[in-house]
Every structure is written in C-alpha cells, then in structure tokens.
C-alpha cells in the first residue's frame, strides 16, 4: 500500500474518521443512492484515470471501477484504506488504494481524467488547499464531481446534536464543512479551475427506529464512535438520548426515514 505523510494538523481528523474501519461501509450503504448519483454525473469511462478523494471504504471507487475506469482511492484513515482494499478484492475489482492527505496530494499535475469525492473533501480542515489540489491533479478538459451536504441539511443538524458533547473548539477553528454545500462558496473554491454546474437531490436514511440509528453510527461512523468513546457514562447516555430523540422526529409508520 502506498502511503503519504498526513500533515500534523490532520492527524486527529485521520484518527476520528478512521476509527470504525470496515464497519464504515455500513454508513456508505445508507447513502448508496447519493454515491450513485455522483458517479452517474461524473460519467467515468473505460480506461479513464479517476481519483476518489476521501474514499472511505471505497464504495464510490468500486462503483467507478465496475464501469471499467482505472481508479485510485485515497483517505486519511489507514484502517479505512485497508478495509477498502479487502472489499475491492472481494468484489474482484482492481483498485489502487492509498493513505493520503487531500490537502497535499502526492500525484503529478494533470494526472487524472476525473476526480470524485462523495461527502469527503468537504471535511478537510483547509478547504482552499484541498480545492487547489483538485484543480491541479485533473487534466485540462477533465472533470470533477462532488456530493456535499447542504448547510441546512439534517446531516448538519445531527452534527449540532453532537456539538455540546465535543471539547471546546480551538481559538481559530476550521471553517464549517457545510460551507461546501453553498454554491457561492464552491464557486469561490473551484470557479477559477472548472466550469461549474449544480444539482440538488435528497437521500433518505432508513432504519427501524432511533435506537437502531444510534447503534449504527456509534459502531460504524468514526466521528460519532470517537466522540462516544471519550465521554463518561452519564454524558454518553445523554448523547445517546439526544441522538435518538433527533432521529425519532423522522418516524413514519414503517420506521425512520430521515431526508
């Protein structure tokens, strides 16, 4: 496995996102339609070189490879990358996975036909650096496809559920990842390098009940798992209570359906 040094300011981020290892693929399964939407818009073609940034356990990379493209997937989390390799092998797909930092890619200029990131690059701590790297590694006339959560999305809201339980932010906190959900901000970041087009969509998280959603995220979603592990029992139970209450707001006759 190729590796690239993770910048010091991203080491805690790498540990948090990588905490769930292979179990993270269960999270990707809940947004499989979102990932497929992004892959369809990227339109990868056989033989093209495609980079999947913040690949996680490689769900999008596998979908692209199945279309015949030559895929490289990078992620901060070494355990995620190892899981992605195993999952690709189990699917009989040839994909190059590497530990890598989206803010400082090791690849040469213009070395990919296309780049994709599904709810990944938006969580970088230095968005200007990440955006510059996206533009640098794509060939002239190449393509980038990003799926990002909107600032008023339910995903942004459940991060607010976790916020009271997090340690105090640093004096100069990184910008909100949900800024990548504003068209104006994406134009600031990528408008000089790409002709941009936008499309909105809705992906539904479906589960039996709020407690099932808690179990899924506390076992499989690195940020939630990492946070819960740092809390003393009473605080952890309070977070669980708030998490379940939030998701129960989206109950239907058949269970949770959170847009």
- What pLDDT was estimated at residue 3? 58
113-124: average pLDDT: 97
22-39: average pLDDT: 98
Between 254 and 4, residue with greater pLDDT: 254
CB 212: neighbour CB atoms within 10 A? Answer: 14
The CA-based angle 68-60-200, given to 5 degrees, is: 115
Q: What is the dihedral of CA 121, 127, 129, 134, to 10 degrees?
A: 40
Strand pairing report for 70-75 and 96-99: parallel
Q: Is the pLDDT of residue 2 over 60?
A: no
User: How far apart are the C-alpha atoms of 206 and 258, rounded to whole Å?
Assistant: 7
- Burial degree of 242 (CB within 10 A; 0-12, 13-18, 19+): middle
Q: Give the range among 23-32, 161-170, 210-219 with minimum mean pLDDT.
A: 161-170
- Answer whether 126's CB lies under 8 Å from 174's CB: yes
User: How far apart are the C-alpha atoms of 153 and 122, rounded to whole Å?
Assistant: 14
122-133: average pLDDT: 96
130-139: average pLDDT: 98
Task: Report domain extents, the chain.
Answer: 2-258
Q: Under CATH, domain 2-258 is a member of which superfamily?
A: Vaccinia Virus protein VP39 (3.40.50.150)
- What pLDDT was estimated at residue 174? 86
174-196: average pLDDT: 97
- Answer whether 138's CB lies under 8 Å from 110's CB: yes
- Burial degree of 245 (CB within 10 A; 0-12, 13-18, 19+): exposed
Q: Is the pLDDT of residue 12 over 90?
A: no
Q: Which two tokens stand for residue 194?
A: 């790409």
User: How far apart are the C-alpha atoms of 154 and 228, rounded to whole Å?
Assistant: 20
User: How far apart are the C-alpha atoms of 76 and 99, rounded to whole Å?
Assistant: 6
What is the H or E stretch that residue 87 is in? helix 78-90
């Amino acid at each position: 496995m190729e590796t690239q040094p993770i910048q010091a300011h991203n080491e805690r981020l790498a540990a948090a996102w990588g905490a769930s290892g292979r179990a993270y693929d269960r999270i990707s399964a809940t947004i499989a339609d979102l990932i497929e939407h992004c892959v369809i818009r990227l339109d990868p073609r056989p033989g093209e070189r495609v980079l999947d940034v913040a690949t996680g356990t490689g769900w999008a990379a596998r979908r692209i490879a199945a279309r015949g493209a030559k895929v490289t997937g990078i992620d901060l989390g070494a355990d995620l990358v190892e899981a992605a390799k195993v999952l690709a092998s189990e699917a009989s797909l040839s994909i190059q996975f590497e530990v890598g930092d989206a803010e400082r890619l090791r690849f040469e200029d213009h070395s990919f036909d296309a780049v994709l990131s599904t709810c990944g690059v938006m969580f970088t701590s230095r968005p200007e650096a990440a955006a510059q790297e996206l533009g640098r590694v794509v060939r002239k006339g190449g393509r980038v496809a990003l799926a990002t959560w909107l600032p008023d999305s339910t995903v942004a809201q459940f991060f607010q559920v976790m916020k009271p339980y997090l340690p105090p932010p640093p004096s100069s906190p990184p910008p909100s990842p949900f800024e990548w959900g504003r068209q104006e901000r994406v134009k600031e970041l990528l408008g000089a390098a790409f002709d941009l087009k936008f499309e909105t969509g809705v992906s539904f998280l479906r589960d039996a009940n709020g407690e099932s959603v808690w179990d899924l995220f506390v076992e499989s979603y690195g940020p939630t798992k990492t946070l819960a592990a740092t809390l003393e029992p009473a605080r952890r139970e309070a977070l669980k209570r708030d998490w379940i209450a939030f998701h129960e707001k989206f109950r239907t006759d058949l269970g949770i359906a959170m847009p």
